[in-house]
Amino acid sequence: MKSILVLLGAIGAQACQRDLNLAHGHRHVKRQDTTAAFPPALDANEQILINSFDNTSISEWSYYYTHGNHIAGLNKTMAQWTADKWTEYGFASRLDEYYVFLNYPVSHSLSLTYANGSVHTASLTEDVLEEDDTSSYPDRIPTFHGYSFTGNASAEYVYVGRGQQVDFNRLEALGVELEGKIALAKYGGPFRGLKVKNAQEHGMIGAVLFVDPADDGNMTEAKGIEAYPNGPARNPSSVQRGSVQFLSIYPGDPTTPGYTSKHDSPRADKSGSVPHIPSIPISWVDAQPLLQALNGYGTNGTDVNRTGWVGAIPGATYSTGVGSGARLSMSNIMNDTYNPIWNAVGIINGTNEDEVLVIGNHRDAWIVGGAADPNSGSAVLIELAKAFSALSETGWKPLRTIVLASWDAEEYGLVGSTEWVEEYIPWLKTAAISYLNIDVAVSGPIPDFSATPDLHRIATSTMKKVVYPFHGATNNTLYDVWTSISGGEIGVLGSGSDYTAFLHRGIAAIDMGAGPGPNDPVYHYHSNYDSYHWMSTFGDPGFHTHKAFGQYLTLLAYHMSTDPVLPLEPEDYVPELRTYFSDLEETLASYEPPAASNSTTSSPTTLDLSALESAISTFATAAEEFSALRAQAIASNDTALLTVTNHKARDFSRGFTSQGGLPGREFFQNLLFAPGLDTGYAPVTYPAITESVTFADDFDRAQLWVGKTAQAILVAAGMLRT
Ligand X SMILES: *[C@@H]1O[C@H](CO)[C@@H](O)[C@H](O)[C@H]1NC(C)=O
Catalytic site positions: 410
Q: In angstroms, what is the minimal distance from the CB of 637 to ligand X?
A: 4
Q: Which of 136, 152, 230, 632 binds ligand X (CB under 6 A)?
A: 152
Stretch that binds ligand X, among 24-32, 110-118, 440-448, 579-587 (CB under 6 A): 110-118
Which of 658, 698, 697 minimizes the C-alpha distance to 674?
A: 658
CB of 337 to ligand X, least distance (A): 4
Sequence length of the chain is 722
475 near ligand X, rule: CB under 6 A: yes
Site for ligand X in 541-580 (CB under 6 A): 542-543
Can you tell me which of 351, 608, 639, 700 binds ligand X, judged by CB under 6 A? 639
Judged by CB, which is closer to Zn ion: 316, or 367?
367
Going by the DSSP 8-state scheme, the letter that residue 536 receives in this structure is I
Helix, strand, coil shares of the chain, percent, nearest 5, are: 35, 20, 45
Binder to Zn ion among 8, 11, 16, 239 (CB under 5 A)?
Answer: 16
Instruction: Judge contact between 222 and 312, C-beta under 8 A.
Output: yes
According to DSSP, the β-strands at 432-442 and 400-407 are unpaired
The residue number whose beta carbon is nearest to ligand X equals 68
- Residues 58-77 touching ligand X, rule: CB under 6 A, are 59, 64-65, 67-70, 75, 77
The Cβ-side half-sphere exposure at 365, using a 13 Å CA radius, reads 32
**What are the angstrom distances between the C-alpha of 389 and each of 53, 247, 434, 556?**
12, 37, 21, 16
Among 3, 32, 34, 56, binds ligand X (CB under 6 A): 56
Between residues 352 and 406, which has the closer beta carbon with respect to Zn ion? 406
CB of 284 to ligand X, least distance (A): 18
From Zn ion, ligand X, none, interface partner of 528 (C-beta below 5 to 8 A by class): none
CA distance 455 to 560: 10
- Angle formed by the axes of helices 456-463 and 478-486, nearest 10°: 120
Q: Does 632 bind ligand X (CB under 6 A)?
A: no
User: Do residues 289 and 120 lie in contact, with contact meaning Cβ atoms separated by under 8 Å?
Assistant: yes
For residues 431 and 387, the answer to whether their CB atoms sit within 8 Å is no
Residue 669 and residue 503: Cα distance in Å, rounded?
9
CB of 249 to ligand X, least distance (A): 21
Q: Which is nearer to ligand X, 448 or 576 (CB)?
A: 448
Q: Is 245 helix (H, G, I), strand (E, B) or coil?
A: coil
Q: Is 349 in the site for ligand X (CB under 6 A)?
A: yes
Residues 273-332 that bind ligand X (CB under 6 A): 300, 302-303, 305, 317, 331
**Torsion on CA atoms 392, 394, 398, 402, rounded to nearest 10:** -20
Q: Whose CB is nearest to Zn ion?
A: 16
- Residue closer to ligand X, measured from CB, 56 or 271: 56
Minimum gap (Å) between residue 323 Cβ and ligand X:
14
> Residue 646 gets which letter from DSSP?
H
CA distances from 107 to 150, 152, 242, 715 (A): 10, 11, 16, 52
Instruction: Report yes or no: 503 and 672 within 8 Å, Cβ to Cβ.
Output: no
Question: What does 16 bind: ligand X, Zn ion, none (CB cut-off 5 to 8 Å by kind)?
Answer: Zn ion
By rule CB under 6 A, what string of x and - marks binding of each residue 8-47 to ligand X?
-------------------------------x--------
User: Which helix H or strand E contains 110, and what residues bound it?
Assistant: strand 92-113
Residue 374: name its binding partner from ligand X, Zn ion, none (Cβ under 5 to 8 Å by kind): Zn ion
Report the first-to-last Cα separation within the chain, whole angstroms. 49
Q: How far is the CB of 710 from ligand X (least distance, A)?
A: 28
Pick the closer one to ligand X by CB: 78 or 344. Answer: 78
- Mask: binding to ligand X, 441-460, rule CB under 6 A, as x and -? --------------------
Question: Shortest distance, CB of residue 240 to ligand X, whole angstroms?
Answer: 20
Residue 412: name its binding partner from ligand X, Zn ion, none (Cβ under 5 to 8 Å by kind).
none
Distance in angstroms (rounded) separating the CA atoms of residues 545 and 446: 10
Contacts of 482 (CB under 8 A, 6+ apart): 447, 449, 463, 468, 488
DSSP character at residue 117: S
Beta carbon nearer to Zn ion, 141 or 183: 141
Distance, CA of 618 to CA of 613 (rounded, Å)? 9
373 binds Zn ion (CB under 5 A): yes
Min separation Cβ 672 and ligand X, Å: 29
Give the nearer residue to ligand X in terms of CB position, either 68 or 718. 68
CB 393, min distance to Zn ion, A: 33
Q: Least Å distance between CB 396 and ligand X?
A: 16
- Residue 374 in contact with Zn ion, rule: CB under 5 A: yes
Applying the rule CB under 5 A, the residues between 453 and 482 that interact with Zn ion are: none
Distance (Å, whole) CA 25 – CA 31: 18
Q: Which does 599 bind (CB under 5 to 8 A by kind): Zn ion, ligand X, none?
A: none
Radius of gyration of the chain (CA): 25
- Interacting partner of 281 out of Zn ion, ligand X, none (Cβ under 5 to 8 A depending on kind): none
Encode 564-623 in three state secondary structure.
Answer: CCCCCCHHHHHHHHHHHHHHHHHHHHCCCCCCCCCCCCCCHHHCCCHHHHHHHHHHHHHH
DSSP, collapsed to helix, strand or coil, labels residue 170 as helix
Buried/exposed 653-671: b ≥16 CB within 10 Å, e otherwise? bbbbbbeebbbebebbbbb
**Cβ(358)–Cβ(405) below 8 Å:** yes
Name the site residues for Zn ion (rule: CB under 5 A): 16, 373-374, 439
Name the site residues for ligand X (rule: CB under 6 A): 1, 39, 55-56, 59, 64-65, 67-70, 75, 77-78, 92, 106, 109, 114, 116, 118, 152, 217-218, 300, 302-303, 305, 317, 331, 335, 337, 339, 349, 353, 475, 518-519, 542-543, 596, 598, 637, 639
